[in-house]
Amino acid sequence: MNWRKLRTFLITVLLLSIIPATRYYQIDVPLLRLLRGSRSVDPLLLHLSGEFVENNLGTQQERDGSVTVRMIALQYLFIPHCILVPAGVPVHLRITSADAVHSLVFNDADYTVKVLPGTISQAELQFPRAGEYKTACREFCGAGHYAMRSELKVVPRAEFPALQPGERGNCAAQ
């Protein structure tokens, strides 16, 4: 008797749990946002406030000698268009998308970073030698996808400009 009651209860719970499981946007998405915390951004509002405002993009010097690079991928550009980093130091890459799904690859280096709108993709990179890397988008993102390429310049640590706090470096044509 008790067993049958328990069984009925379990079946009811199972059936009821199907209902929230179909409500992906009402339940799962807000939950994921909450769990992800600071790693969630609104792709439409990047330029207004937060980490990806335009004067915060580029290379930032950290106190421990490493650098943080912040980028935006949008149809069909990586901003900033040319990234400048010193050789042999840890590079913390933080990138987000303003529209579609992109994927940042560094040719000649085995790095691929998937870029999704609404999330900040993080990657820990390190480039041992100075040189120029071609970067490209490897996820079809629209009509201009094949021209979505940019550059990453790795310079010897001595040649990397001394950045003031609040100053961000890049090598894009001004």
Partner 1 sequence: MQRNSRSSSSGWIVAWIAAAILLASSLILAASDSAPDHIPSLVAWTPDTIAIASSGDAFRGLLLAKRCDHCHGAEGFSSTPSTPNLAGINKLAIWKQLEDFRTRKRLSHAMDPIAASLSPRDEADVVAYFSKLPVFTDPQDNRAFPEPRPEPAHAAIASRLVSFGDGERGIPPCQACHGPVAYRPGVPSLATQNTGYVLNQLEAFANRTRANDINEPMRTIAALLTEDERHALAEYYGSGLGLEPGGATGPK
81: tokens are: 């268009």
DSSP string, 98-121: SSS-EEEEETTTTEEEEE-BTB-E
Tell which one of 35, 55, 64, 162 touches partner 1 (CB under 8 A): 55
- Nearer to partner 1 among residue 10 and residue 29 (C-beta): 29
Interaction between residue 80 and partner 1 (CB under 8 A): yes
The stretch near partner 1 (CB under 8 A) out of 17-25, 31-39, 40-48, 113-121 is 40-48
Sign of the four-CA dihedral 154, 157, 159, 163 = positive
Tell which one of 40, 66, 75, 126 touches partner 1 (CB under 8 A): 75
The candidate with the shortest Cα–Cα distance to 129, out of 86, 170, 158, 67, is 86
| Beta-carbon count within 10 A of 122 CB | 12
- Separation CA 63–CA 79 (nearest Å): 24
Interaction between residue 24 and partner 1 (CB under 8 A): no
Interaction between residue 38 and partner 1 (CB under 8 A): no
**Contacts of partner 1 in 122-141 (CB under 8 A):** none
Interaction between residue 72 and partner 1 (CB under 8 A): yes
Residues making contact with partner 1 (CB under 8 A): 44-49, 53-56, 72, 74-81, 98-99, 142-144, 146-151, 165-166, 172-174
